[in-house]
Amino acid sequence: MNAVSTSSAKLDHYGVLNALPHPVVVINGEGHFDFANSDAEQFFGAGAAYLARRRLSDFVPADSPLFSLMEQVRKDRSRIAEYRVDLSSPRLGAERVVDLYVSGMPDQPGHVVLMIQLRSIAEKMDRQLTHRSAARSVTGLAAMLAHEIRNPLSGIKGAAQLLESAASDEDRILTRLIQEESDRIVKLVDRMEVFSDQRPVERSAVNIHSVLEHVKTLSRSGFARDVRILETYDPSLPPVYANRDQLVQVFLNLIKNASEAVADLDAPEIRLSTAFRPGVRLSVPGSKSRISLPLEFTVEDNGAGIPDDIRENIFDPFVTTKPSGSGLGLALVAKIVGDHGGVIECDSQPGHTSFRVLMPAWNDDLGMMTQDSGDKGRAD
């Protein structure tokens, strides 16, 4: 397709529609696809030639409100915008909540133009702001704990050490337990104190593949020794504008979580991937300019997935599925990514969980690469 008909008028219309940065289709009066731009081909997971032989109802459930919107547009010759419409189906997949813009075509009666705007980026940005707000709450809590808990704990541990020298063998077990638990609480406070670090992140050009290789080596020597780790990398990626040590911390945490999620499987797998994608423009801490996030790094596993009741809050502090977990690992990951001006998102279902990190790219002249820059460069 991109146009089934080759009339010059149609080609003019469809040339404009093809340039729009959203999935756009034209549906004729019989419900068949008459046109689909490249973004629509990706959305429907099918090529233009295949779509030209199919109806919209082959992809969208017959009871979807989309069809009543289209009928209303045909009847009233109006334009309608409908927000948060669920187009989820076996063909399109789950969680396909979108905004719809439906309009008729005056020169082609019965034809309807349908533009689909994915809500994922906006909603994930809202969640990212929520994660940052939650991290700020932990910041205040960490400062309070450092003052109100660490000092008394030091006294408790010291008293237990003094008692141990004069205690019986049976009581010595208890004094050692007091010391060990005091140390454990201090370590928890230390982990929370990381959230109170408000200093600007020291960043430079970082080769993400070097980071992932380092993290993979660490993982295979320990918690992921029995896990198959697959790699799908884009070797032409430019450097990421980031702090290398903090990136190591982010991906070490994500791979550790993934390893634990697949620990009970017969064929545990983790896939690491990198790609260059169009990003969303954002303000980055320490910069007055707005940049894009074209670099995508993903950690996927084939584990059981994240329970529905905590999936939306997985990056909030103290949320965890582990019996002995603190619930601070992913909260810290979200803070680090946020401090870099990036976005992290999670998609999980039984048999597949992915954490996707969007980050800014380095540019020698500007310090980071904007979305308008066409030079992707190469990570050294």
Mean pLDDT of 333-350: 86
How far is it, in rounded angstroms, from Cα 216 to Cα 269? Answer: 13
Percent of the chain scored above 90 by pLDDT?
23
C-beta separation of 83 from 97 below 8 A: no
- pLDDT higher than 60, residue 365: no
pLDDT tens for each residue of 91-130: 887 767 788 888 888 778 889 989 888 765 445 555 555 5
In angstroms and rounded to an integer, the radius of gyration of the C-alpha atoms of the chain is 26
- pLDDT higher than 70, residue 133: no
Q: Say what the pLDDT of residue 321 is.
A: 67
Q: What is the residue-averaged pLDDT of the chain?
A: 78
**Residue carrying the six token digits 């994240």:** 306
C-beta separation of 362 from 376 below 8 A: no
CATH architecture of 122-196: Orthogonal Bundle (1.10)
Mean pLDDT of 303-317: 82
Question: Domain 8-118 is classified in which CATH homologous superfamily?
Answer: PAS domain (3.30.450.20)
How far is it, in rounded angstroms, from Cα 32 to Cα 53? Answer: 7
pLDDT tens for each residue of 192-247: 555 555 667 788 999 999 999 999 998 988 889 999 999 999 999 999 999 998 89
User: What's the fold here for domain 204-359?
Assistant: Heat Shock Protein 90 (3.30.565)
- pLDDT higher than 80, residue 162: yes
- pTM passes above 0.75: no
pLDDT category of residue 368 using cuts at 50, 70 and 90: very low
How far is it, in rounded angstroms, from Cα 272 to Cα 300? Answer: 7
pLDDT category of residue 355 using cuts at 50, 70 and 90: very high
Instruction: Map out the domains of the chain as residue ranges.
Output: 8-118, 122-196, 204-359
Long-range Cβ contacts of 118-123 (<8 Å, 24+ apart): 118/22, 118/23, 118/43, 119/84, 120/345, 121/280
For the record, the structure tokens of 76 come out as 């009233």
